[in-house]
Homo-oligomer: A and B are copies of this chain.
Amino acid sequence: MVDIRAELKDFAAAFNEELCQYFPMPQGPEKRVVEAMEYSVLNGGKRIRPFLVKETAKLFDVPLKQSIRVGAALEMLHVYSLIHDDLPAMDNDDLRRGKPTCHKQFDEATAILAGDALLTYAFEILSHKNTHPDAKIRCQLVQLLAQAAGGFRGMVAGQMLDLLAENMAATQNSEELIYKIEEMKTGRLLRFAIEAGAVLGEADLDAHNALMLYARKIGLTFQISDDILDVEGDQALVGKTLHKDEAQNKLTFVALYGLQGAKDLARKLTDEAKEALAIFGSKAQTLADLAEFIISRNK
């Protein structure tokens, strides 16, 4: 547990250097949109999703170059979702990781376009031959990411539900609803990270199922710890406006189970996530450590 923080930090530094190469600047004034993309992507994220791709792929001895490219695509997509989520018409956030959000730093139109371009770029990266020599694998990754991010049962559907669920905290279907939002809004991208590692590694069914179980457990833990951070977090560390959930009467795991109940659930899920990794033995130690990191993160 001492090590995983350092390992994540080292990975994020190396990954950021890699990411810098993804933004060749156009000559003309249209470079503004690429500047906005780069600003938002290189804004100090923890890079948990790309780390998950890398660590899962490593279980199957996938070349690092491949898993880093898939991680880059996933991070582009994740950052697009943050940019659009922060817009005035959506969550209307001014701060993200301690810096002005994209529409505050640039303007709304540029932020909409930068998000659109990052989403598009994710698929350009995935489908490029450098990502994997086998086009079937590349197509499978494009399929999975598009489904995970899309409007039917993916991230966008989760965002829609989340917006509609505001001020619905007191209804009787709260429990079902919050799990559904979590699964679609945050769970599916985390699951893609892990599934992508399995796809790159052409994992067999047992390995695949074990990893999907792990993904489900840490995805839920991730959301629960986000809700806990909103209540207990240190704003300077977290780098975004806190205590918004209660003010907006938002449906959260803390609202549903109370602070202690939420903490207990996160603990139980983390233990289950680690158990799911048993079939990989000591090879999966970093993934187990990461589950502990997620429950104990303070930002």
Interface residues of A (CB under 8 A from B): 24, 26, 28-30, 32-34, 37, 80, 84, 87, 89-90, 107-110, 112-121, 123-124, 126-129, 134-136, 138-139, 142-143, 146-147, 149-154, 156-161, 163-164, 180, 184
Contacts and interface: CB of A to CB of B under 8 A. Distances in A.
B138 A120 contact: no
Contact of A34 (B134, B152, B159): B152
Contacts of A184: 30
A150 B152 CA distance: 23
A150 B28 contact: no
B87 A120 contact: no
Q: Most chain-B Cβ atoms within 10 A of its Cβ — which of A28, A34, A118, A129?
A: A28
A157 B26 contact: yes
10 contacts: A24-B152, A32-B164, A84-B112, A113-B156, A116-B119, A117-B156, A117-B157, A120-B150, A139-B142, A142-B142
Contact of A161 (B29, B80, B150): B29
A28 B100 CA distance: 34
A146 B120 contact: yes
A163 B163 CA distance: 29
A147 B24 CA distance: 14
A121 B123 CA distance: 11
A248 to B, nearest CB: 14
Contacts of A29: 160-161, 164
